[in-house]
Chain A
């Protein structure tokens, strides 16, 4: 009994600093965001007016908010699906196939992940340049140099996909390494048995690899949502500033503009609350949809 009491004291002693930090840096700011979303406040003075849920009412009547919502959702879907698929494929190839220069390829794939968003944005801005960019130069080989240049960052219909390209390029290496780590733990004997049974590469991939790294996949999918919401803001700020004409505005860039440029700090915090609820809901849906029995080996 005394030992248990001592253990409890020790655990309490060890956990207290972490819990305190968690409360101060996570719980309190979060509650504060909720609180501030019910005020009309410019951001620099003490003059705050309590407006209840008025900020939310205005938010749901705003076309700009819906555009930001649509763009954020589009980026989450496009970036997540493509990054997830490519990272899995590359991880599988680099883990399972015997290729020359495997280690070099791993490094090359991972490099974008250690580059700053600003650097990646500069690289992609150069690639997307309508006059001197690599992408139009390649396209011109097929369509002729006299044709009108594609405005990768200027055409409202495609600019959001141009941003996706930069985000996917940045993210693939990180998730590829995570999947490779999981795949390394899958026993080789399973693949050998499958081969003896006559299974092909695709069958082994879908029947052995995917089910056995499923837990890892589920975790990374939640990461995708969180990181895409945050990273999309950085890429938008660095590459388009939400333009042209607001066509690349995402949740957080819209929140930032309202809070800091339009002197509507409370309204900005209301957007923050919606981002919170949205990411919570999306993570919950994803958890439910991807739930399946845990396989062990």
Chain B
């Protein structure tokens, strides 16, 4: 009996650790948003102050811009106080309190984060419909939010996850993604940037002869932008839409096969050490391969310049950026547009105030604060004011490159099935040759079949 009790206690301990495991990092880093900001000078401050709880993931743009923007909104609305929670581990910080029913009013965190908070809220029908924000007048201006946002950004499968024409997630900062390279190296070698995949492979052979790999990637997660753009190239937006909505047989079409062939070939041209460092702690080593002239191209976003700002680099290094090569000579070239999303939980206490705050974020005043930190919003005319590297990056669409947006459609949770793990995570195995292209396609087809019936 004693043995059974002791064994039971041992097992209880294990399970209790499992049960408590997720809550180890719940020290909320909540800071009053206006601690370093001027107090509103309006003498007729209403008696009742509304508190807006705002939570944002701290990204490469930093936290200060949010404090400035919060102060700007408070100045314009003297009866409002904004409590900001800005943290690099936002999901850990606000997750536990949300589980107990305490939700922020506004959250800025995008899909694709490690813990998938946004996806979970979307899957649970737990995000507020923000379609009416589009028709709101931007505070302090005479135009509506919709008039300011670049067309297309509020019509994607990310912003309209239920495909019902309603916008639940608002687009915030955007970044064209594509292939980054050392333009200085190309100049030194007299190489030209490939415009077709055939030219890409020819360049790969040329570089290999000099001990340089054609391709590297930080982690397999970066294949989302590359794969989405590629699907648009091989089959156009309609085919991309079918693939993203798990249409039956879509992965067996000639277009899909062409995309799979290209990715598999790219895997064979990938620097062989990349899978060993393709994780969140070592991915910078893979990015460093480009700066050290050990690999030519990597998929990334415009944040890479800041992220690798203090990293050592080869002599004469100069950032270069190009969209994906076309599959045929003269064919369409695409660059996937990554953008962050801001949204309101369905159980937010102040939904109306939350909408006003979001509308304010598209004002010229807020946009200027964001732009100062390098965060560019999809606001008409904003990219014209950019300078330096950002000018090069954001003008990619001016040279005939088409923009690809959207992602795999939202489904109810299907236990044990992750389409992003299946499609992108397998690339490591293609590089190490642990899996074949056929195994990859079979796994994608199986996952796609499982998710089709769970579409929202």
Contact = CB atoms under 8 A, between A and B. Distances in A.
A29 B413 contact: no
B114 A280 contact: no
A111 interface: no
Contacts of B425: 243, 245-246
A29 B20 contact: yes
Contacts of B22: 256, 259-260
Given A156-B434, A280-B7, A258 B416 contact: yes
Given A131-B273, A151-B275, A279 B10 contact: yes
B98 A44 contact: yes
Contacts of B435: 245
Contacts of A30: 12, 15-16, 19
A211 interface: no
Contacts of A154: 273-278, 428, 432
Interface in A43-64: 43-45, 47, 55, 58-59, 62, 64
Interface string B262-284: 00000000001111111111100
B285 interface: yes
B385 interface: no
A151 B274 CA distance: 9
A116 to B, nearest CB: 13
Contacts of B7: 280, 283-284, 287
Contacts of A151: 272-273, 275-276, 432
Interface stretch (B44-52, B120-128, B398-406): B120-128
Contacts of A275: 14-15, 18
Interface string B1-40: 0010001101111111111111000000000000000000
A16 interface: no
A64 to B, nearest CB: 6
A26 B281 contact: no
A186 interface: no
A39 B281 CA distance: 34
Interface string B415-456: 111100100011111001011000000000000000000000
Given A26-B13, A42-B124, A279-B10, A33 B19 contact: yes
A30 B428 CA distance: 37
A152 interface: yes
Contacts of B19: 29-30, 32-33, 272
A154 B275 CA distance: 5
A272 B416 contact: no
A231 B137 CA distance: 54
A192 B437 CA distance: 67
A70 interface: no
B119 interface: yes
Interface size class of B (residues with CB under 8 A): 35 or more
A244 B432 contact: yes
Interface in B98-121: 98-99, 114-117, 119-121
- Classify the interface of chain A: helix, strand, loop or mixed: helix
A149 B276 CA distance: 11
B428 A226 contact: no
A122 B10 contact: no
A217 interface: no
B115 A260 contact: yes
Nearest to A33: B19
A87 B421 CA distance: 39
A244 B15 contact: no
A261 interface: yes
A232 B223 CA distance: 28
Contact of B10 (A32, A233, A283): A283
B416 A58 contact: yes
A62 B11 contact: no
B426 A287 contact: no
Given A154-B428, A245-B434, A245-B435, A42 B16 contact: no
A245 B429 contact: yes
A65 B119 contact: no
Interface stretch (A76-84, A194-202, A234-242): A234-242
A222 interface: yes
A261 B116 contact: yes
Contact of B13 (A156, A226, A287): A226
Contacts of B432: 151, 154-156, 244
Given A276-B14, A283-B10, A152 B416 contact: no
Contacts of B3: 284, 287
B124 A152 contact: no
B120 A263 contact: yes
Query: Which 3 residue pairs across A and B have the least CB separation, nearest first?
Result: A154-B276, A244-B428, A280-B11
Given A44-B117, A47-B124, A151-B272, 20 more contacts: A44-B95, A44-B98, A44-B120, A125-B281, A129-B285, A130-B273, A149-B273, A153-B279, A154-B275, A154-B432, A222-B10, A229-B14, A243-B220, A243-B428, A245-B425, A256-B21, A261-B116, A272-B15, A275-B15, A283-B7
Interface of A: 25-27, 29-30, 32-33, 40, 42-45, 47, 55, 58-59, 62, 64-65, 121-122, 125, 128-131, 148-149, 151-157, 222, 226, 229-230, 233, 238-241, 243-247, 252, 255-264, 267, 272-273, 275-277, 279-280, 283-284, 287
20 contacts: A44-B124, A64-B416, A130-B273, A149-B272, A151-B272, A151-B432, A152-B276, A222-B10, A226-B10, A230-B14, A243-B425, A260-B91, A261-B114, A262-B414, A264-B414, A277-B11, A279-B14, A280-B10, A283-B11, A287-B3
